[in-house]
Amino acid sequence: MGRIVAIGECMGELSETGTPGMLNMGFAGDTLNTAFYLRHSLGPDWQVDYVTAVGSDGLSDRMVDFLTGQGIGTDHVRRLADKTIGLYYITLKDGERSFTYWRNDSAAKKLASDPAALARALDGADLAYWSGITLAILPNQDRLALIEALSQFAGRGGTVVFDPNLRPRLWDNPDTMRGWIHRGAAVSQLCLPSFDDESAWFGDADPASTVRRYQAEGAARVIVKNGADSVTYADGSGISTFPIKPADQVVDTTAAGDSFNAGYLAAELQGAPVRDAIAAGAGLAGRVIGARGALVAEAVKRP
Ligand code: ADP
């Protein structure tokens, strides 16, 4: 028996279908994607809860119903009276997707505004999963509250896992982003960055530099994803690499990193050694990018 909490923002997704006037409605978001793949990868002896805030309107109800329908626990989804969820719209042009967001006032920005609720959500959990996007959407005071709650959780023996998921557009400026990302990493035992983001915004020359930088901030273990290139990791005993088999067919890379993280964690939680867990993460991500959309249940190979 174990319990995982994923903390962050899930949004409504409207996407063009190719038929004028017809849209698809779905739900996605980085931490939710990982929660989805964890839920589908792990057996019933694991509980996967999502921690966020939504409104009390019909659209928020739809999201909660969606989470419940996927088997994801919603006991720690806070309901706010005067808010609703964030939304994004995917325009399809010549097979290319572009995104328009309405999330400036989304309920999820309040997900850490009640420290007691946060403490209850983390109480008794084994693993807390969060990201740089979770941190980005919060006001400063709530960033501190979440970091403090996770620090206490780690102090009680919980494992905190952080994907920096650098999104400069969600931050006031890149320096602010860099500062908070390092504070987030400092309370996390395992960091799961992607090298293309890290090289762009931290100027890392190679993935080993990314590993060393996050270790210097306090993350004991670091696993750096790098698209079709090798994964570079440190789990306490030096820096190693793990080769990735390039996918035969890449249809849509949405949620590659999120699904990798879930595949990795699900394997590790079931006792796999680090290289087997990386292989599981890479296998899942490789299947997810072979299909359209963020949430591809068929990509999961059940235990
Ligand atoms: P992100 O989605 O966070 O940018 P990456 O692009 O680094 O993450 O990819 C995450 C993981 O997805 C990689 O470590 C790898 O396992 C898998 N992956 C991504 N692109 C490919 C590809 N072209 N072929 C095979 N695996 C891939």
Expressed in percent and rounded to 5, the helix, strand and coil fractions of the chain are 40, 25, 35
56-77 pLDDT, tens digit per residue, is 999 999 999 999 999 999 999 9
Q: Where are the domains of the chain?
A: 2-299
At residue 173, what are phi and psi to the nearest 5 degrees? -160, 165
At residue 286, what are phi and psi to the nearest 5 degrees? -60, -35
Compute the distance from residue 288 Cα to the ligand 1 centre, in Å: 10
Segment 184-196 shows an average pLDDT of 98
Q: Which atom of ligand 1 is nearest to the CA of 281?
A: 16
167-186 pLDDT, tens digit per residue, is 999 999 999 999 999 999 99
Indicate the average pLDDT of the chain. Answer: 95
Say what the pLDDT of residue 98 is: 87
Say what the pLDDT of residue 31 is: 98
Q: Is domain 2-299 in CATH 3.40.1190.20, yes or no?
A: yes
Say what the pLDDT of residue 302 is: 63
pTM of the shown model: 0.97
Say what the pLDDT of residue 17 is: 85
240-283 pLDDT, tens digit per residue, is 999 999 998 898 888 999 999 999 999 999 999 999 999 999 99
Segment 79-104 shows an average pLDDT of 88
User: Rounded distance, CA 165 to CA 196, Å?
Assistant: 10
Say what the pLDDT of residue 95 is: 67
Compute the distance from residue 13 Cα to the ligand 1 centre, in Å: 22
Active-site amino acid positions: 258
Compute the distance from residue 285 Cα to the ligand 1 centre, in Å: 6
Ligand 1 touching residue 166 (CB < 6 A): no
Contact 160, 186 (CB under 8 A): no
Ligand 1 touching residue 247 (CB < 6 A): yes
Confidence at 292, pLDDT banded by 50, 70, 90: confident
128-143 pLDDT, tens digit per residue, is 999 999 999 999 999 9
